[in-house]
Amino acid sequence: MGNSFGELFRISTWGESHGGGVGVVIDGCPPRLPLTEKDIQLDLDRRRPGQSKIVTQRDEADRVRIISGTFKGKTLGTPIAMLVDNKDQRSEAYSEMETKYRPSHADYTYDAKYGIRAWPGGGRTSARETIGRVAAGAVAKKILKKQFGVEVLACVSQVKNVSTEIHPDKVTLKQVESNIVRCPDKVAADKMIRLIERMRKQGDSVGGVVTGVARGVPAGWGMPVFDRLEADLAKAMLSLPASKGFDIGSGFDGVALQGSEHNDVFRMRGGRVRTVTNRSGGVQGGISNGETIYFQVAFKPTATVLKEQDTVSVKGKNVKLKARGRHDPCVLPRAVPMVEAMTALVLVDHALRHRAQCGFSSK
C-alpha cells in the first residue's frame, strides 16, 4: 500500500536505504520506445550522493540495470523493471537510532503504524527510495519529448533567505547544470553554495524552494474535479521526502491581487488561444491551457543534524541523541531531478489518459 503512483503509466518503487538495492517497476510504457540504461543514468547521476561538496558524501555510483521490458534497445510494452544496487551502506553509524527516535524523522510514526522499522538509514523513508522515481521519470521525460514535444526541467530558486527570480519560459538546462547547487542565477548560486557549505561545517542544515517547469504541454491535459492536473502535481511533489509546501502559478502571492489584476486575459495569437499573462501557471479548471506550467515546491531543512538534540527512546524515556553518518546539509541540489521526475510522471500519465479518452474526438 502506498508504493505505487499513476493510472495508465503506473510505477511501483521498492527497496530500503541499507538493503540490497532499490528499484522500480513501470507498467504501461508504450512499446517500441528506444530505451537503454544510458538514457536513465544521466538523471540518476544528477540525483546520486557524493556528486559535490554540498551533498552527502555517501559513495554510491548508482548504476542502473534494466532487467525486463526491453529488447534490442526498445521497450516491449511489458513491465519495465530497473535495479540499482546499494554498495556503500554503513549501518553501524545508525546503531543509536535502533533505540532512539530522530527528531522530525519518520522513526516514531513508522513504529506507531507498523510496530517495526528498518532503522539503518531510515529504511523506506530514506531519500534513497527516490532512485526508482528518478529512473521512471527519465523514461517519462523521453516519452514526453519524443511523442509530445514537452520539455520538463526544475531548478533551485531559494536556499534559506537567498532567492532569485526564475523565468519559466527562459530558463535552460544548461543554466541549471552550470553549478553544483543547480540555480540558474550565478550570483545567487554562489551565495547559496557558501551558505550550504557553512551549514555543513556547523553540522546543521537549511531548506529552500525548487521551481518546476513544463513547456510545450498542449491544451486539454488533465481531468475535472478530483483528478485536476494541479492536484496530481501537488500530490506528486508532496510525496517527495522533506517536501512541505506546493503552489502553482501565482500561488500564495496571488492573494494580494484583485480579480481584475489576477485574471489571465485571452487573446488569439498564431492561430490559437493564448493568455496575455500566466498567473494560472498553465492550468485552469484542472486542465492545461497550453501555456507553460510552472510551480514551486518548498523543502524543509534536512532533519538529520550533527548537533545533540532532545528526543525519546523506544522505551518511552526522555533522552539525548547526536546523529552520526553522512547526510545532506541541504536536499535541494539533489531534489531538482526528483521534482523533474515526478512532474514527468504526472504529465505522461495524463497525456496517455487524454489520448485514451479524447484521441478520436474532434471539434
pLDDT tens for 215-244 read 999 999 999 999 999 999 999 999 999 999
Q: Which amino acid is at 203?
A: G
Q: Is residue 315 part of a domain?
A: yes
pLDDT, tens only, 119-164? 877 778 888 899 999 999 999 999 999 999 999 999 999 999 999 9
Q: Is residue 305 part of a domain?
A: yes
What residue ranges in 276-332 does DSSP mark as E strands?
Answer: 283-284, 287-288, 293-299, 309-312, 318-321
Instruction: Identify the band that residue 350 occupies on the pLDDT scale cut at 50, 70 and 90.
Output: very high
Per-residue pLDDT at 285? 96
CB contact at 8 A, 135 and 82: yes
Cα radius of gyration rounded to whole Å, the chain = 21
- What total of structural domains would you count in the chain? 1
- Residue 363 pLDDT > 50: no
CATH code for the domain of 283: 3.60.150.10
- Residue 264 pLDDT > 90: yes
Domain of residue 334 covers: 4-358
Instruction: Identify the band that residue 362 occupies on the pLDDT scale cut at 50, 70 and 90.
Output: very low
Q: Is residue 118 part of a domain?
A: yes
Instruction: Give the range among 247-256, 270-279, 323-332, 337-346 with minimum mean pLDDT.
Output: 323-332
Q: Is residue 363 part of a domain?
A: no
Q: Is residue 127 part of a domain?
A: yes
CA distance 202 to 42: 32
pLDDT, tens only, 75-106? 999 999 999 998 865 555 567 888 899 999 99
Question: Which whole-number Å values give the CA distances from 117 to 89, 97, 130, 212, in the listed order?
Answer: 17, 11, 18, 33
Q: No. of H helices and E strands in the chain?
A: 8, 18
Average pLDDT over residues 250-271: 96
Q: Indicate the average pLDDT of the chain.
A: 92
Instruction: Give the range among 135-144, 318-327, 342-351 with minimum mean pLDDT.
Output: 318-327
Per-residue pLDDT at 40? 96
pLDDT, tens only, 30-49? 999 999 999 999 999 999 87
- Residue 326 pLDDT > 60: yes
